[in-house]
Chains A and B, each alone.
Chain A
């Protein structure tokens, strides 16, 4: 049973960089896309971007200038960095597996529990 767990600071100062890691357990990180998705309190879901285990990335254009994703297959982990954060980046951040099948299936089938990140001085 594949499980995901987000980790990282729960409080980040404005203008600094938010850094989160997602650890994949119960299975291999290889040969999948892995996404980050965030949700401000009481609001909807926003896809931040994804990374393939080769290191190839796709970012949401709305955040692209501030986002960097990386993967460490030896540790079964992938990471998110979001620079120059403001209060608008305060949200629950989820990591998720982006399951893509040849038949056209493409869905976030496994999610981490989420981690709350607050941007405040």
Chain B
């Protein structure tokens, strides 16, 4: 299985801050990476697919980059409604695997 490692596991930032989460794959997955947002008690929501493509309707403050084994997810200006846990997920191989998640909180 491809292991996905996210860092940090949690972070606390102020409204308006730039937030960056990294995701590292245990092997080259090209750009076959998605990012999801999960708010408490809710199902995950697709934000970014193919490493850098914004899903329709997702605010432009969210972005993703990277290829190969190293990927970055960024919130350019943190908003109160962005409080959630964020997961990366690879689709290069079966089984599909997720990172362990990064919990984002407001300072």
B residues within 8 A CB of A109? 46, 55
**Which 9 residue pairs spanning A and B have beta carbons closest together?**
A111-B43, A47-B96, A106-B91, A60-B95, A45-B98, A107-B49, A107-B34, A44-B100, A109-B46
Q: Name the prevailing secondary structure of the B interface residues.
A: loop
The answer to whether the Cβ of A78 comes within 8 Å of any Cβ in the partner chain is: no
Q: Is the pair B36, A108 in contact by a Cβ cutoff of 8 Å?
A: yes
User: Which single member of A47, A104, A105, A111 contacts B98 (CB below 8 Å)?
Assistant: A47
Q: Is the pair B50, A45 in contact by a Cβ cutoff of 8 Å?
A: no
CB distance from A104 to the nearest CB of B (A): 6
User: CB-defined interface of B74-102 with A at 8 Å, one 1/0 digit per residue?
Assistant: 00000000000001010100111111110
Category for how many chain A residues contact B: 20 to 34
User: Which single member of A44, A59, A60, A105 contacts B49 (CB below 8 Å)?
Assistant: A105
Instruction: Please report which residues of chain B, range 19-53, place their CB below 8 angstroms from some CB of chain A when the two chains form the complex.
Output: 31-32, 34, 36, 42-46, 49-50, 53
The answer to whether the Cβ of A56 comes within 8 Å of any Cβ in the partner chain is: no
A residues within 8 A CB of B1? 61
A residues within 8 A CB of B49? 105, 107
A residues within 8 A CB of B34? 107-108
Closest residue on chain B to residue A61 by CB atoms: B95
Query: B-contacting residues of A (Cβ < 8 Å)?
Result: 35, 44-47, 49, 58-62, 94, 96, 104-109, 111-114
Category for how many chain B residues contact A: 20 to 34
Q: Is the pair B45, A111 in contact by a Cβ cutoff of 8 Å?
A: yes
Bound together, the chains give a CA A104 to CA B33 distance in angstroms of 11
Q: Is the pair A94, B43 in contact by a Cβ cutoff of 8 Å?
A: yes
Closest residue on chain B to residue A95 by CB atoms: B43
Q: Is the pair A114, B43 in contact by a Cβ cutoff of 8 Å?
A: yes
Q: Is the pair B43, A45 in contact by a Cβ cutoff of 8 Å?
A: no
Given known contacts A47-B97, A49-B95, A105-B50, what 10 new A-B pairs fall within 8 Å (CB)? A44-B101, A45-B89, A47-B95, A47-B98, A59-B95, A61-B1, A104-B31, A104-B32, A107-B46, A113-B43
Bound together, the chains give a CA A107 to CA B47 distance in angstroms of 10
